[in-house]
Amino acid sequence: MKTRNDLRNIAIIAHVDHGKTTLVDQLLHQSGTFRENEQIDERAMDSNDLERERGITILAKNTAINYGDVRINIMDTPGHADFGGEVERIMKMVDGVLLVVDAYEGTMPQTRFVLKKALEQKLTPIVVVNKIDRPNARPDEVIDEVIDLFIDLGADEDQLDFPVVFASALNGTSSLEPETQENNMDSLFNTIIEHIPAPIDNSEEPLQFQVTLLDYNDYIGRIGIGRVFRGMIKVGQQVALMKLDGTVKQFRVTKLFGFIGLKRIEIQEAKAGDLVAVAGMEEINVGETVCPIDNQEALPILRIDEPTLQMTFLVNNSPFAGREGKYVTSRKIEERLRSQLETDVSLRVENTDSPDAWVVSGRGELHLSILIENMRREGYELQVSKPEVIVREIDGVQSEPVERVQIDVPEEYTGSVMESLGERKGEMINMINNGTGQVRLEFMVPARGLIGYATEFMTQTRGYGILNHSFDGYQPLIGGRVGGRRQGVLVSMEKGKASEYGIMQVEDRGTIFVEPGTEIYEGMIVGEHTRDNDLSVNITKMKQMTNVRSATKDQTVNMKRPRILTLEEALEYLNDDEYCEITPETIRLRKKILDKNEREKAAKKKKLSQQ
């Protein structure tokens, strides 16, 4: 069988922050793909603002490197399980994977998630132990952990016989031994060329090209990125697009793009094994096959992970609606959500009985909060409800998503963490105490038990704990209350500006969320109550001025710092009867029913109906 020895296709997989994007940077620099005078950003692959700020890869990216006379196509995959939809499809485009593992932290939950997908596709693995220059690096133990993980995930003997490269992506060094480092990435390049199988060259056979990622460009419309599995594809060629619903559309290939470095370059043709982008198809979707009109043979459809979490997105109808946003109407919000569906295949948007509300389902809190944050930055104004897990019926049993949770925490906090996860119906499956004062705990927890847990966890461990979790599967629904907020809230009963005097009057009742001078309205949540019931407060109250001087006049009182919630914290904080109002400038929490009397009536009604 003929192979294309001038080509290798690999994906880089790793847990968030184990250095894979930095590693790709080094490979790009050292391969001479850039001109010497070319200005390149650090973490060049993370191209959008959110990726740079959070230091995570959200969208899969592809790049190509020339090393000697071999072209290496590299797919940089997201490490976070919420973007699993991207990972799964990339595994179809490549012949091998680089598993990057931190030399100190070892294997983590998301490493497990992504590796499982790679092993299922029977891909050839290479393990890169990165950050080998860390003072507390423990490469030998980390390799043992990796072997255990491979066995645990059912790797076959060939996969278990993986080569290991030790590297420091930051310093641009690599070697095949942990003790010494060479000042280049040659060890890694050579290992890739030696161990990753070259693509089969069947370019004489009829064309088969499958779309695995989508992109959109205002000038040329939708772009399908994928791999040519056999045959050749040329600009100007008339081809058939085999749709997922069984229909076939004909179109002409108007443009073809290959990849080199971080650029897309226009090419005239591509053949079996190449990763390319094809333009000219208006309605192309992920998983569809492009083939010749006279030889219509579809490739197996790609399976895409189903959403596990949903929220209702609504038009903002608070008293401050329309003040700060550019796009506030239901038409604009719906258009934006529909355009997100063009490139994000793990997202679902359904209409509701109301023209001003949509149910949006995604792969997790991070997946949805990234969408909301992007909309907010683009000038949209909207409201969202509390995130809820999607319950499915599997073999006649109501089932809910379960997450595998890994926690690294100082020894003294293990008791309180175990107790709080126990209350959230978590089941401990492993505990490792390696005598360094740090304990690693592993749990299986229903996904709804984790909504809102991150904030509580940070408080419990004084910020010293590290929490990682990834979707594991579905299990029968657990009855009773799981997780959720235990505290009530402080709700404003007046409209106006928060005053220092007003805030100080209610400080002892709980934690305040707003600063003096903030504009507030009736029904807006301004803090957390120390008890489990809601309390209406007036923090706009001003001090009465008199001409009598008090003896304590000159004593100054210090006001406590308010707790300002981030978008993720606000979403996690929500209860069933509350909304989060999101504008380009502000994030506010509010009650669904703003009027105090109406709210009390509704609560009584609900209580009666439950009895």
Alpha-carbon gap, residue 260 to 9, rounded angstroms: 13
Alpha-carbon gap, residue 99 to 119, rounded angstroms: 11
As a whole number of Å, the CA-based R_g of the chain is 27
Alpha-carbon gap, residue 489 to 531, rounded angstroms: 8
Three-state DSSP at 7 gives strand
Q: Are strands 525-529 and 578-582 parallel, antiparallel or unpaired?
A: unpaired
CA distances from 392 to 82, 366, 396, 477 (A): 18, 21, 9, 9
CA-closest candidate to residue 79, choices 62, 56, 106, 55: 56
Alpha-carbon gap, residue 530 to 511, rounded angstroms: 8
CA-closest candidate to residue 440, choices 105, 113, 208, 159: 105
First to last CA, the chain: 73
CA 16 from chain center: how many Å? Answer: 10
Q: Where is the binding site, in residues?
A: 17-22, 130-133
CB atoms within 10 A of CB 521: 16
Three-state DSSP at 607 gives helix
Residue 550, C-beta contacts closer than 8 angstroms, at least 6 positions apart: none
Alpha-carbon gap, residue 333 to 320, rounded angstroms: 18
Instruction: Enter the tokens of residue 8.
Output: 């290798």
Q: Where is the binding site for GTP, in residues?
A: 17-22, 130-133
Residue 378: what are its φ and ψ, rounded to 5°?
A: -85, -5
CA distances from 458 to 22, 413, 447, 453, 588 (A): 28, 11, 18, 9, 22
Alpha-carbon gap, residue 362 to 393, rounded angstroms: 18
